[in-house]
Structure 1
Amino acid sequence: MTDQSLDAFLSTAHETVATFPEPFREMAAEVAVVVKDWPAEWMLQDLDIGDARDLTGLYDGIPLTEKSTFDQPTQPDTVWLFREPILLEWRERGDVALRDLIAHVTVHEFAHHFGWSDDDIAEIDRWWE
């Protein structure tokens, strides 16, 4: 992947979601995907993260396992991908294709939408090793 633009990241994320098996693909359809260069300050503060380089993605919403028919959404659930931190990790790792890293972050954030915790995800995805 030579194109490192915001649009290329978004395209890769959408292609990744399109490969989800059913019923996950259908459950992911209502989630907005947004790519920005850096996370917003409020995101870092909410997560108690001091360095924006440490946040490659974020799920902002109510996980499906916690939703109720009584919930009145004020905004769509959103998966955020942060281009600059992803590019930094990709350069530092040097052992993974950029498309694969974008796909990994996308899947990780959608796993939160499906109700998985970071610990749940780590049990089956030891990406950092």
Structure 2
Amino acid sequence: MNALADDPMAWRPVKAPTLAMLEVMAEAAYARLPKRFRDLCGNLVVQVTDFPTDEVLEEMEAETPFDLLGLFQGVGLAQGYESAPFAMPNMIWLYRRPILDYWAEHDETLGKIVTHVLIHEIGHHFGLSDDDMERLEDEAG
């Protein structure tokens, strides 16, 4: 049995994951991806922050700061990243508060949600289809 389900008082010391904790979760999710896939990602940088910037929200036409769980920023392989001169490293942003809000509203584990968002955003880097991303999620467990 689950102590949190059996004893409501067991929740008293439990806190929402910090930015650092979510970053560790994202790193673990990334490490579970197939090696051949990670090798193709190159110098991809993953950052975790509470919310997207106002500029990102405006650019993505988001109605609220909770509308975006993650974002790929950069030049994807499908757009010729390898040939872009002096390109900044590609970045994936994971937004902690919207991810936690989504977690509270759905019947999925936080780890599964973080993995899903990470793979979805990496998928933008490669121009992958939803089916391709679903296969990667299956491989990542």
TM-score, normalization by structure 1:
0.83
- More displaced, 45-54 or 60-69? 60-69
Partner of 2:30: 17
Correspondence for 1:99:
111
Q: How far is 1:30 from its partner?
A: 0.8
Change in Cα spacing, 1:2 to 1:27, as seen in structure 2 (3 Å) is farther
How many Å apart are 1:73 and its aligned residue? Answer: 3.5
Q: Give the superposed CA RMSD.
A: 2.1
Q: 2:130 aligns with which of 121, 126, 129?
A: 121
Structure 1 residue ranges, 4+ long, deviating more than 2 angstroms after superposition: 122-125
Separation of aligned partners in 2, 1:37 and 1:84 = 5
**Residues in 1 aligned to 2:65 and 2:100: alpha-carbon distance in whole angstroms:** 13
Higher mean C-alpha displacement, 83-92 vs 60-69: 60-69
Aligned length: 121
Task: Give the structure with the larger helix fraction.
Answer: 2
- Aligned-pair identity (%): 30
Structure 2 length-normalised TM = 0.77
